Chain A
Amino acid sequence: SYVLIQPPSVSVAPGKTARITCGGDNTGSKSVHWYQQKPGQAPVLVIYYTTDRPSGIPERFSGSNSGNTATLTISRVEAGDEADYYCQVWDSSRDHRVFGGGTKLTVL
């Protein structure tokens, strides 16, 4: 089955740029979606189709994907961005959805 690997944690100072990676076999050929989850809350979609932002998501959130790694980039990080972030793809061969293990973003 398809597997997505994320670093367990990423730390960044306020105002700096955070990059969260998501690795998988030929991830670059897939559309990657990203979710933000704050403690005690349901996840929220922040990036879909690798680079698109839902309405209401700040332009500071962006995505990219190449080779075997997709990346969520958060520019000018704020304290309110502290959360767990999950990448996800659609495994079309089995019509399964696959989530990465999640990355805890800490704002120092």
Chain B
Amino acid sequence: EVQLLESGGGAVHPGGSLRLSCAASGFTFSSYVMSWVRQAPGKGLEWVSVICASGGCSYYADSVKGRFTISRDNSKNRLYLQMNSLRAEDTAVYYCAKEGSSGIVENWGQGSLVTVSS
């Protein structure tokens, strides 16, 4: 059974940093593209970033480009999202996502809440 378990969320002041982690199990992690998707309170889903299976390529939504960095450690079956220069509008539940082809999100984690507030 595929399991994705996010951690590292919490409250942070504007301008601060936070690193999210996602522990993956139940599948061959190193073979899959992985993404982060977020959802602000009461709002819709917003794709944040994606990383290739090897870790050799990554892409970002315009709203986070230059502030967030996605990475992975295939030896530890872990996905990361380093978030810097956080803003109030980054407040959201962040989901770790396992992808299939054509950007299909086959599996979702339960989410980790990040709150940016002074």
A residues adjacent to B (C-beta < 8 A): 1, 31, 33, 35, 37, 42-45, 48-49, 54, 84, 86, 88-90, 94-102
For residue A102, which residues in chain B have a CB less than 8 angstroms away from its CB?
44-45
Indicate the size class of the contact surface on chain B: 20 to 34
Question: Is A101 a contact partner of B44 (Cβ separation < 8 A)?
Answer: yes
Interface assignment of B1: CB less than 8 Å from any CB of chain A: no
Q: Which DSSP category, helix, strand, loop or mixed, fits chain A's interface?
A: strand
Contact with A along B43-61 (1 / 0, CB 8 A): 0111100100000010101
The contact sample of 26 A-B pairs, CB cut-off 8 A, is A33-B104, A33-B105, A37-B45, A42-B95, A42-B111, A43-B45, A44-B108, A45-B104, A86-B44, A86-B45, A88-B45, A88-B105, A89-B103, A90-B102, A90-B103, A95-B50, A97-B37, A97-B50, A97-B103, A97-B105, A99-B44, A99-B46, A100-B44, A101-B44, A102-B44, A102-B45
Residue of B nearest to A94 (CB): B59
For residue A100, which residues in chain B have a CB less than 8 angstroms away from its CB?
44
| Least CB distance, A61 to chain B, in whole angstroms | 15
Of B47, B100, B105, B106, most buried by chain A (CB within 10 Å of CB) is B105
For residue A90, which residues in chain B have a CB less than 8 angstroms away from its CB?
102-103
| Least CB distance, B79 to chain A, in whole angstroms | 15
Selected contact of B47 from candidates A31, A44, A98, CB within 8 Å = A98
For window 3-49 of B, CB contacts with A under 8 Å fall at 35, 37, 44-47
For window 88-118 of B, CB contacts with A under 8 Å fall at 95, 100, 102-106, 108-111
